[in-house]
Amino acid sequence: MEFLKQWLQERLASGDYRRLFPLDRSAAGRLTPAKRPQSAIVDFSSNDYLGLSTHPEMIAAAEKALVRYGTGVGAARLMSGDLQLFHDLEDAVAGLKSREAALIFGSGYMANIGVIPALVGRDDVIFSDRLNHASIYDGCRLSGAKLVRFRHNDTDHLEECLRKKRGKGRALVVVESLYSMDGDRCPLAEIVRLKNRYESMLMVDEAHATGIFGTKGGGIIQEEGVEREVDIAMGTFGKALGSYGAYIAGSETLKKYLINRARSFIYSTGLPPAVTAASLKAIELIAKEPGRRKILLDNSSYFKNCLREAGLPGEPGPSQIVPVMVGDSRAAVKIAEQLRETGIFVTPVRPPTVPEGTARLRFSVTLHQSRLELADAAGSLLEICGKMSAPVSFPTE
């Protein structure tokens, strides 16, 4: 199996080789490298945006469920692994997303690779934004449907594709409301108009928007008032909600259909009860503590202003995800390594996660970071890039 070594050597030479970095979590938002236990660093790579993973009420809910139910349910939900707790969480998700029903999955990846093949097949067509998550593309491939990729957030191109390639079978348009690597938002209102005009289904991945946007934290589809126009709303519990797992929200008919057709649901053990209880508590907390969302977005604006004032060109996106474009993968890795030496943990994101030539540092703003730490991170980044003569910028200029 010499090809394995050759492939790894090629990735190492290009700067796209990935390795694990063992860490301990010594405190909220702080990481301690296993090889340097005395040096805590600030985490800028977490998606725990609202800081809920360490919320006392989340921990208490998980502990209570652990004592009552044990560590796992021992079976798929269609066998003996179904708990009332799962149904309580699904009802809470449906309320959060203003839909009739919801169904929970083991992860966002499992949701996307289960739902898309359940909805479309060989005689159908999928219209997918070019920058959609890898799990969406894997779901598209598994479906066997014809895949048409349209330019990122380009609704004119989407309409052209729909007009020319819609066909007579089912059609599914798939987008993310908030893109995880660029931090930009989808033009949802126009997407909805097109899906109605061309009689297509619309699936919106809200993994990075749920809990943060919307009047109730129900995401960007709630903020823009298009909940009823989105046929399949997908999201996760492992980001702003501080837990683990994922959900699909939509009609009651959709839920019943997926229970019978989504293979990643049918053939997977139910989520651990402690995780499920924590997710249920998270939905309660985002309703009870709405100030968390405002503080997060205010701090995100502050961090972007710090970067701009420190000399970063271009215009940042509208969210808590702040990508800093580097371009070259090896340069991105080197900058990230030097930032760790200054106490800042940020991950270099490289191909194939992002297109060739667009390697970047993806900063996630969370409530675990103070404003002083945000300002220090901005200053350190620009100082390191200046010494390296590495041109960096926001994604758009």
DSSP states of 126-164 as a string?
EEEETT--HHHHHHHHHHT-EEEEE-TT-HHHHHHHHHH
The whole-model pTM stands at 0.94
| pLDDT surpasses 80 at 243 | yes
320 and 260 share one domain: no
CA angle 263, 195, 206 (to 5 degrees): 55
Burial of residue 341, with CB atoms counted within 10 A of its CB: 0-12 exposed, 13-18 middle, 19 or more buried: exposed
For residues 352-379, one letter each, b for 16 or more C-beta atoms within 10 angstroms of the residue's C-beta and e for the rest, the string is ebbeeebbbbbbbbbbbbeeebbbbbbe
Q: What CA–CA distance (Å, rounded) separates 204 from 250?
A: 11
Q: In whole angstroms, what is the distance from residue 41 CA to residue 33 CA?
A: 8
Residues 235 and 366 reside in one and the same domain: no
State which of 256, 288, 320 marks the end of a domain.
288
Report, as residue numbers or ranges, the catalytic residues.
47, 133, 176, 180, 205, 208, 239
Same domain, 187 and 267: yes
What is the C-alpha to C-alpha distance for residues 32 and 73, in angstroms, rounded to an integer? 33
pLDDT of residue 392: 86
What is the reported pLDDT for 30?
85
Structure tokens at 265: 């649901």
pLDDT band for position 37 (cuts 50, 70, 90): low
pLDDT over threshold 80, residue 199: yes
- In the numeric block, the tokens 């009860």 are attached to 273
Q: Is there a domain that residue 90 lies in?
A: yes
Cα–Cα distance for residue pair 155/66, rounded to 1 Å: 47
314-358, pLDDT tens digit by residue? Answer: 888 899 999 999 999 999 999 999 999 999 999 999 999 999 999
Which CATH number fits the domain that encloses residue 373? 3.90.1150.10
Same domain, 281 and 343: no
297 in the same domain as 219: no
Question: Are 199 and 257 members of one domain?
Answer: yes
* Whether 178 and 227 share a structural domain: yes
Phi and psi torsions of 391, nearest 5°: -75, 125
Q: What is the pLDDT of residue 28?
A: 80
- The rounded percent of the chain whose pLDDT value lies above 90 is 84
**Dihedral sign from CA coordinates of 277, 282, 288, 289:** positive
pLDDT for 397 equals 47
**Domain count within the chain:** 2
C-alpha 211/C-alpha 288 separation (Å) is: 12
Q: Residue 343's domain spans which residues?
A: 17-46+290-388
Helix H or strand E encompassing 202: strand 201-205
Same domain, 172 and 237: yes
Q: How many CB atoms lie within 10 A of CB 30?
A: 16
Using DSSP's 3-state secondary structure scheme, residue 183 falls into: coil
Please report which confidence band the pLDDT of residue 26 belongs to, taking 50, 70 and 90 as the band edges.
low
User: Computed from CA positions of residues 93, 97, 103, 105, in that sequence, does the dihedral angle turn out positive or negative?
Assistant: negative
